[in-house]
Chain A
Amino acid sequence: MSAPPSRPSTRISPWALWVPLIVFLGFLVLVIHGLSRPGSTEVESTMIGKPLPAFTLPPAAGDRPGLSTYDFADEKPRLLNIFASWCVPCAIEAPQLQALSDEGHEVVGVAIRDRREHVAAFLVKHGNPFARIGKDDVSAVQLAIGSSGVPESFVIDGTGVIRYQHIGVIRAEDLPLIREKMREARQ
């Protein structure tokens, strides 16, 4: 049973009741503003338009040569993929990289903080779309190029300038965008 009605009560001033809601709306505004800042893959990377930092990396797997800045200066755009054998999402994007390679785009890789045997095993398991693979044991090139995780991919044009940064897995739905960026890099 409900509590018996009490004597005529003082009504709480209506304005007081709405204060919590107003404070909450303020919180929402603050947070929406915070959420709307960069963080997703559509971010305009600060590296776009900048040339690749100079680097030379030894080969990471027996049958592919290593990677250096000079390999990018031949008028041909490339997709530079940062990966590692211990990175599961990299395995998930392997079919997409293979598709790009089969279509005639050149894909090169940078294997970070990895061992040769593990990289080799990864390539056997998931296929090898890379024309060259550099071994970056301390993530020096990864950091210099503005990458902060794996996998990340960069479209580099024929003069060694970074034209696009894709953070995270390249899913099948991302392929048209990547192809578009590679096309733009030809100009």
Chain B
Amino acid sequence: MNTIKAQRIKPKHQRLVLLVIAFVVLIAAGLLAAWALRSQASYFYVPSEILADAPEPDRAVRLGGMVENGSLRTEADGVTIAFVVGDGKARVPVRFTGIVPSLFVEGSGVVAEGKMGADGTFIADNLLAKHDENYVPRELQDMDAHQARQVVSETR
């Protein structure tokens, strides 16, 4: 049998070493997670908030509000739409390329995921319509008071 140059860990220490390794890795995971969360979590804005306190240009965020009546327009390529999202206090133009969800109509709520463009237009890569069978965002429930006035003024 060949002599193995053994890596001996002193008996007393093995358990401690394992425990320390485990803790160090888990704490590292926690710190990395915390840092990444702060920089990558997607914040939710309503139009008045996003205009007052714009996020960094490349940051993925969500914008929620009511789709202004009469603002929905389809562009020439047939797959890009432009509309305006409002919350009773401010309005933000949004552009989206893709197939819209089925319950997306003017005058109803929407949450757009994407980035705020330099020219003040929100570029959305995903749209979630309120009352979509799949999505009932809790965040939007506070907004109904604002929306009511907006919808009212537009339906006249």
Binding site for B on A (CB under 8 A): 7, 9-10, 12-13, 16, 38-39, 46-47, 50, 53-55, 138-140, 143-146, 148-149
Contact = CB atoms under 8 A, between A and B. Distances in A.
Interface band, chain B: 20 to 34
Contacts of B107: 138, 140, 143
Nearest to A140: B107
Given A46-B141, A138-B105, A144 B148 contact: yes
Contacts of B151: 53, 140, 143-144
A41 to B, nearest CB: 13
Nearest to B69: A140
A140 B19 contact: no
B16 A10 contact: yes
Interface of B: 11-16, 19, 23, 105, 107-109, 130-131, 136, 138, 141-142, 144-145, 147-149, 151-152, 155-156
9 contacts: A38-B141, A47-B148, A50-B148, A53-B152, A55-B155, A139-B131, A143-B151, A145-B144, A146-B148
Interface centre among B105, B108, B131, B144 (most CB of A within 10 A): B144
B152 A46 contact: no
Nearest to A48: B145
